[in-house]
Chain A
Amino acid sequence: MTEQSPPRWASETFWKKTAIWVTGGSFVLLVILSFDSMKQISAGGPRVPAYSVINKDVSYRFDKAKQRYQPTIGNDAPLFGKTLSEEEAEKLVDHGKKTVQAKNCMNCHTLLGNGAYFAPDLTKAWLDQGWGAKESREQMMVNFLLDPEKNARTYGSNRKMPNLDITPPEAEAIVAFLKWMSSIDTNGFPHNFIALGEEDK
């Protein structure tokens, strides 16, 4: 059989060049977008509040103009009654984040919707109505983390969080981390979530 050379658009060299240009172009665009995203999601930037946000009241409300839910930052509401400086707040949240990783929370829960599906999402855990009242929330969360077995509210599922040997300072740090995380602007995820204290608004 005699070889007929294929048309240009079906030739090996044409597609080789296309592959190189398309890959290079996409990657360059991704790098540019990543620089911009990093700027916008650094703590204290427009979308991710500074760690000292844990000194304030955080909530989650429907924004009529945007047609989606959005975090709101309110009046002073220091966590555990202590107003922290930016550095102190960062240190506390950092300890919380490290504990969340070391205890492998993400292989039962989701955080910002990523992780495992055996236990509830933690994105807005701080704002969940399950804690009953804003006044007792902090202490309830700490107690729960220290002894999840005894303080389990399994909602009839019998699924209990195991005791992870969390120490009292670690528990407070985790709560700080969760409060800070709940203030991140997640573009309206989760939708239709009614935060603690927003029931009749």
Chain B
Amino acid sequence: MTLQAYQEKAAACWAGCQQKHASLMANPNLSGGQKLAVHYFTVAMVLFMAQLLFGLLAGLQFIFPSFLYEILDFNVNRMVHINAMVVWMLYGFLGSVYWFLEDESGVEIVGLKWGQLAFWVLTGAVTIVVLVYLLIQIGSGTDTSLWLINEGREYIEAPRWADIGIVVVVLTFFYNVAATFAKGKWSGIAGVLTLDLVALAGLYLAGMFYVTNISVDQYWWWWVIHLWVEATWEVLVGCIMAWSLMKLLGVRRKVVQTWLYIEVALMFGSGILGLGHHYFWIGTPEYWFTIGGFFSALEPIPLVAMVVHSIYDAGAHKFKNSNHPALAWIIAHAFGNFLGAGVWGFMHTLPQINLYTHGTQWSASHGHLAFFGAYATINIAFFYLAAQQARGNVWMGGELVNGWRWKTAAVLLNLGVMGMTIALLIAGYEQSFIERAVEGSTWAGYFAAQNHPWFMQAMVWRMVFGLMTAAGGGLLFWDLLEIGKGEQRPAAVIDSEAVNP
């Protein structure tokens, strides 16, 4: 393609984006906060696609090690894969909160302009960070590299300048949320959500400094990673679920709020000290065996409670609702969270087994099912809620035009991730036995396990199911752009009496 042709294409694409943007801003079906939410959801979906693409590249390198060698090495692909994941999920959460903020508080968002500015600043920063990851990749062993290129700490690799930018953006978001609730109604959900956001943002600070001592480094690194996904993110999702159950099924506020408090008590009561399951082997004292083992073993309890709660509510309200895709993804969330985090997490959380599984494909198996099951699902449910409203609150229940598309996407995504999880589980067992138990974790032992036919077969199956996942992701993207277009039937009105007792 000539440069000119390329420029023309880029200009046409940009014009298309601007047109889409203009029509979004003029959409009469959405409130100000909801328009902002759609912005967040759009970027989230794009980053989700990037996550899948770079996951495929990294996965291929297990099978063909010379693929993209010294062009896009495994560490680069993997970093983009997991960073895209963390960022798209956070975009989804921010968007979800902006989505229901006005509904929940009963007033317009205070300081919406700042929220809009923050969105563009954040998106600009994310773009720059990703370009630097891909084009510059690594630096010399100096502070400058950590400030400008990448911090080299899994999941929170973003360079320091971006960390500071993220904190500023999150503070703006927090101001929007707190000020809006303060002006309108302070519901139980509002209270839990606001306090949870303070904790979520505060924890990020624990990952923003450099230390020489790697034990101290990993101690605080786990504060960010664990206390995010096993405490504050879970509670944030609990708030989002509480609101969704009221809206989608008409569950009474008193019921969901009581459940929310129960879940907070169980989740924080087990998850905060459950942090100790990461302190078995990093130099930290032996008492973490007992504390980490005990409390993390309790972590599945709130996840069971959430399944019971959502299934009970869905049954009690006879599954009557007019957004089937969203409801399906909420059910996938309840089960996925329980399976991926609860069951898969529990299986390797006691130190007696973790001694052998720690840092093997076992962790990757759990990581995939937990992040997908707990957090990808609930975000996708929200994308469908947004699509429905944006298209004029149309019917999205049974006999949907092109209903095959959302169903196929859901099946491909869930089967794909489940298949990858099982493949990695097999690889993880094999690695734990051969590398760890038999060979004593030497480098030779590591490669003996990696070269074993069982391991290599598992890597091939992971790719097969990875492609299935990616196909599902692409179909989901397409469906979200199209679903509900041309639909004339209005969504059924959920009994508002039940929503506001």
Contacts and interface: CB of A to CB of B under 8 A. Distances in A.
Given A129-B442, A162-B69, A186-B281, A27 B140 contact: no
Interface stretch (B16-24, B25-33, B283-291): B283-291
B437 interface: yes
Contacts of B285: 36-37, 40-41, 47
B402 interface: no
Nearest to B222: A114
B212 A90 contact: yes
Contacts of B78: 107-108, 116, 118
A160 B361 CA distance: 19
Contacts of B153: 101, 106
Interface string A13-50: 00110110011001101100110111011110001100
B436 interface: yes
Nearest to B62: A118
B403 interface: no
B282 A114 contact: yes
Interface string B422-440: 0000000001000011001
Contact of B146 (A101, A118, A129, A158): A101
A177 to B, nearest CB: 8
Give the one of A10, A26, A110 with max B CB within 10 A.
A26
Which secondary structure dominates where chain B touches chain A? helix
A194 interface: yes
Interface in A149-191: 154-160, 162-165, 167, 170, 173, 181, 184-191
Interface stretch (B91-99, B165-173, B351-359): B351-359
A121 B446 contact: yes
Nearest to B284: A37
- Using C-beta atoms within 8 Å of the partner chain, give the interface range for chain B: 35 or more
A72 interface: no
Nearest to A107: B75
A102 B150 contact: yes
A98 B146 contact: yes
A47 B283 contact: yes
Contact of A154 (B73, B76, B213, B447): B447
B152 A26 contact: no
A192 interface: yes
- Using C-beta atoms within 8 Å of the partner chain, give the interface range for chain A: 35 or more
B291 A33 contact: yes
Contacts, number: 257
B33 to A, nearest CB: 27
A184 B260 CA distance: 42
B437 A192 contact: yes
Give the one of A38, A90, A173 with max B CB within 10 A.
A38
Given A12-B258, A15-B265, A37-B279, A102 B440 contact: no
Interface string A74-113: 0000000000000000100111111111111111101111
Contact of A12 (B142, B261, B275, B436): B261
Interface string B133-165: 000011111110110011111100100000000
Contacts of A173: 141
B265 A19 contact: yes
A147 interface: no
Contacts of B210: 98, 101
Interface string B351-377: 000011011110110000000000000
Interface string B43-71: 00000000000000010011001100110
Contacts of B6: none
Interface string B119-144: 00000000000000000011111110
A102 B141 contact: yes
Interface in B264-284: 264-265, 268-269, 272-273, 275, 278-284
Contacts of B286: 187
A184 B140 contact: no
A120 B257 contact: no
Nearest to B75: A107
A30 B289 CA distance: 14
B281 A19 contact: no
Nearest to B81: A107
Contacts of A194: 440, 442
A105 B188 CA distance: 45
Contacts of B143: 98
A155 B444 contact: yes
Interface of A: 10-12, 15-16, 18-19, 22-23, 26-27, 29-30, 33-34, 36-38, 40-43, 47-48, 51, 90, 93-108, 110-118, 120-121, 124-125, 128-130, 154-160, 162-165, 167, 170, 173, 181, 184-194
29 contacts: A15-B265, A29-B273, A33-B291, A36-B285, A41-B213, A41-B216, A48-B215, A94-B212, A98-B145, A102-B138, A103-B152, A104-B137, A104-B150, A104-B157, A106-B153, A107-B152, A112-B218, A116-B78, A117-B360, A117-B361, A128-B443, A129-B443, A155-B444, A156-B451, A187-B281, A187-B286, A189-B355, A192-B436, A193-B441
Given A96-B141, A99-B141, A104-B76, 14 more contacts: A19-B261, A23-B264, A26-B269, A26-B273, A30-B272, A37-B279, A48-B213, A103-B138, A107-B154, A115-B359, A117-B363, A118-B78, A155-B447, A193-B441
